[in-house]
Structure 1
Amino acid sequence: MAYKYKNYIFDLYGTLVDIHTDEEQPELWEKMAKKLLDEYGAEYTASGLREKYLLACKEETDALIEKTHAEYPEIQIENVWARLIEDGIRDENHKAETDGSKAAGNRVNPDDLEGLCIFFREASRDKLCKYQDTDRLLSELKSAGKKIFLLSNAQLFFTRKELEDVDIAKYFDDIFISSDNGVKKPQKEFMEKLLKKHGLNPTECVMIGNEVFSDGGVAKANGVDYIFVQDGDFSKII
């Protein structure tokens, strides 16, 4: 195969992997309310939890914008869940010294909430699979001596597990997740950090993704070519 570029930068969801999630389903919030109560002693109704979750996401985003002045900020979702656990305990006047919950009497460490975040993701998800030609494409690029990178608007705790589930992490020379960087595509600095870290010449790179605004936008901002793909059709990449 005659691949044109030296470096291939891929989006993940909707590009290499087909996924569907629904965070509005009432059953999801019923499951999460039960889990927070059972494991952390934080008490919510399902509807109350969803409302507080959306509010906490907004407040975390506003705080990040104020701190970094990013146009396209990306929060870490584990910080939201840490806040919700702490608030749920305080709001219901649990006795921190005696109730035995994991969070009792202490602030919750967001880094300890990977399991909770994965539970939330998997409870909201009804589809996760590679597109038919994903392995073939990535394997051929690797065999051709190309560098392959992932630049994904995503949450680390979600995506790390999902990359394992679909078994494609092995192909990438490096993986950049927006929640780790505080910004997301099309913010120029997100791709710029990848280019600088690996000393990549933008003219030797291509961004491949299914969203013109975010994937195409970040590529244009960094002087990188862009190839639009949809539904696992990689014919334009060759």
Structure 2
Amino acid sequence: MAKVWIDPNDRVDSVEIRYTWSPIGTQPDFSNGKDEAEVMQVVLGTNPRVRQAIIEIPRYLEGKDNYLLHYHFGGGGEHHEGFTQVYTEEIVSKEIEYIDHEGLLTEVRVLWSVGGCAAPNWTQARLEGLPLQVPVDAPGHDAEGEGLADEAIYELVQTVPLPRRFVARVWGPRGSKVEYSFQLLRNNTPIEGDEFVRWDNNQGQNFSVVLD
């Protein structure tokens, strides 16, 4: 996820963002190395100067897909000391779907970003009704990405009646807009040359959803 800072004057040397997360209803703890930090990079050609940092946050916290993200800005030379107030955002998720009416697909992946920023994320879609043979805690199961790409072989997929519904989740601050596109794959087929990788990006416009 991208975070942005705008320099209040031209005397700012450098800025860092420090961030942490906590369950809903709890306070942040920035002490004893319990937070993360990134130095914000200047966006070329901006005046006043804009800085941006890409931060990595979890998709699940204590088994839940919503939690609080806390962050503040500071550091950077004699003219910019200390930290700003702490900002808090609620991170939420939302389910999106892709319907395969023709039965051509073996696998669906989602490429998404919050606000169309330059911080893309991948989520492996899960095929509803797929008779999974691998426990969720087994090696190879993609708990973070919600799917089971390697084990979703062609023969198993064919047992799911049409239309087939692939579902995935995207994450971001509540109220934010997530843009996404689908990578569509047909693989592990018994016929040589009967495989493909295609994209559905809403005719170049991308799909979008608001995380409410």
Q: Name which structure has the greater RCO, CA cutoff 8 Å, separation 6+.
A: 1
Higher helix share goes to which structure? 1
* TM-score of the pair, normalised by structure 2: 0.29
TM-score (norm 1): 0.27
User: In proportion to residue count, which structure has more strand?
Assistant: 2
